[in-house]
């Protein structure tokens, strides 16, 4: 049971294409940083493609409780999370590609 409380470090990468002004995406990411931190995020980076300024990669490093990590689908269907994502969808051209990684360099 103690293992279920272990913190797992993860890196979420979200690749998106913005509609309109790419500066608006930057503002949205900056304004949402407290939200990410509330969910366990420790670092947020926004990368802009130098050859295609409308394309972004958002990286969020976070720590997750092992039990929560095993049930990511349930977390993603949470009403608060779904409401938050509505603002993102309004700025996206198409779907966002989301991948979750574990850093294995150490």
66-99, pLDDT tens digit by residue? 655 655 665 566 676 666 666 666 667 677 778 8
Angle between helices 79-91 and 22-38 (to 10 degrees): 170
Domain range for 62: 2-101
Encode pLDDT of 7-60 as tens digits. 788 888 888 888 777 787 778 777 777 777 776 778 888 899 999 988 889 888
**Is the model's pTM score more than 0.85?**
no
CATH of the domain at 65: 3.30.70.100
The answer to whether residue 90 is domain-embedded is: yes
Look at residue 106 and tell me if it is in a domain. Answer: no
Give the pLDDT confidence score for residue 1 in this predicted structure.
45
Q: Is residue 22 part of a domain?
A: yes
For residue 98, list its beta bridge partners. Answer: 14
Report the pLDDT value the prediction gives residue 50, as an integer from 0 to 100.
93
Segments in 1-106 forming alpha helices (H) = 22-38, 66-70, 72-76, 79-91
First to last CA, the chain: 26
Q: Regarding beta strands 97-101 and 7-17, do their DSSP bridges make them parallel or antiparallel, or are they unpaired?
A: antiparallel
Number of domains in the chain: 1
Residue tagged 């990669």 (tokens): 57
């Amino acid at each position: 049971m103690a293992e279920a409380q272990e913190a797992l470090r993860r890196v979420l990468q979200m690749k998106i294409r913005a509609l309109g002004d790419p500066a608006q995406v930057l503002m949205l990411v900056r304004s949402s940083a407290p939200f990410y931190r509330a969910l366990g995020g420790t670092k947020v980076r926004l990368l802009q493609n130098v050859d295609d300024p409308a394309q972004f990669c958002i990286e969020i490093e976070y720590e997750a409780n092992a039990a929560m990590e095993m049930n990511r689908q349930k977390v993603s269907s949470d009403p608060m999370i779904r409401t938050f994502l509505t603002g993102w969808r309004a700025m996206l051209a198409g779907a966002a590609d989301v991948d979750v990684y574990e850093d294995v360099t150490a």
